[in-house]
Amino acid sequence: MKKAIVTGISGQDGAYLAKLLLSNNYKVFGIVRTNLKSFSNLEYLKINNEIEFVYCDLLNISEVEKTINDINPDEIYNLAAQSSVFQSYLQPITTFEFNTISVFNLIESIKKINPKIKLYQASSSEMFGRVKNLPINEESVIHPVSPYAISKVAAHYTCVNYRESYDMFISCGILFKK
Ligand SMILES: Nc1nc2c(ncn2[C@@H]2O[C@H](COP(=O)(O)OP(=O)(O)O[C@H]3O[C@H](CO)[C@@H](O)[C@H](O)[C@@H]3O)[C@@H](O)[C@H]2O)c(=O)[nH]1
C-alpha cells in the first residue's frame, strides 16, 4: 500500500485530494497544526476516520524531518499555506515566511532522508498577477501583485531550482479558482 502525506488536508483541495488518494488505496497521513481530530471538509466527504492525523509544525525542520522519517511516505502533497490574499496584505512577513520556509523544510528533509520521495507543490494562478496576454499558460510572464503571490512565486521557483539541481521528483500544479 502506498503512503502519502498531505499538508493542508483540512482545506477544500486537501480534502478532495485525500478522498482521491484513499480511493486509490493509499494510506493517507494528514499533517495538522492543532490537536483537533475532526475537520468539516473531511467530515463532509465522510473520510475523517480514514485519515491518520499527524501533528507537525512545518516551520520546524526537526519536526518535518521526524515526520518524514517516521512515515517514510512515497509521496508528499504540500497544500498547506497562508492562503488568503487579503490576509497577506495584513501579515506580509509571516505569509512569506510560512509559504516559503515550509517548502524549503519539506524539500531539504526529503533530500536528506530519501530523495526518491515525490513532492507535489500547490502553486497559484496568483503568480501571474498582472496578466497582459490571455490565455495564461506555463510560459506566461510571472508578475505577482500581492505579498501572497510573491511568496507563491518564491516557493514555486524553489521547487524548480531543486528539481533542476538535484535528482528529485518535484511537481508544481498551478491551481486556479474558478
Ligand atoms: N490591493 C488589494 N488587492 C487584493 C486584496 N485582496 C485581494 N486582492 C486582489 O484580488 C484578487 C483576488 O483575491 P482573492 O479573491 O482573495 O483570491 P482568491 O481567488 O480567493 O484566491 C484563491 O485561489 C487562489 C488560486 O487561484 C489560491 O492560490 C488562493 O490561496 C485562494 O485559495 C487578487 O489577485 C488580489 O491581487 C487586498 O486586500 N488588497
Provide the whole-model pTM.
Answer: 0.96
123 ligand 1 Cβ < 6 A: no
Can you read off the three cell numbers belonging to residue 87? 490576509
Write out pLDDT tens, residues 160-177: 999 999 989 999 999 999
- In angstroms, the CA 178 to CA 165 distance is 34
- In angstroms, the CA 146 to CA 7 distance is 23
| Best residue for ligand 1 mutational test, from 126, 140, 176 (most atoms within 8 Å of Cβ) | 126
CATH topology of domain 3-175: Rossmann fold (3.40.50)
Give the 3-state secondary structure of residue 45. Answer: coil
91 ligand 1 Cβ < 6 A: no
| Best residue for ligand 1 mutational test, from 78, 85, 152 (most atoms within 8 Å of Cβ) | 85
87 ligand 1 Cβ < 6 A: no
Q: How many CB atoms lie within 10 A of CB 34?
A: 9
Tell the residue nearest (CA) to atom 14 of ligand 1.
Answer: 85
Write out pLDDT tens, residues 129-165: 999 899 999 999 999 999 999 999 999 999 999 999 9
Domain ranges of the chain: 3-175
For residue 1, the 8-state DSSP code is -
Write out pLDDT tens, residues 16-32: 999 999 999 999 999 99
Alpha helices in the chain (DSSP H): 12-23, 40-44, 61-71, 85-90, 92-113, 147-165
Tell the residue nearest (CA) to atom 6 of ligand 1.
Answer: 86
ipTM of the complex: 0.92
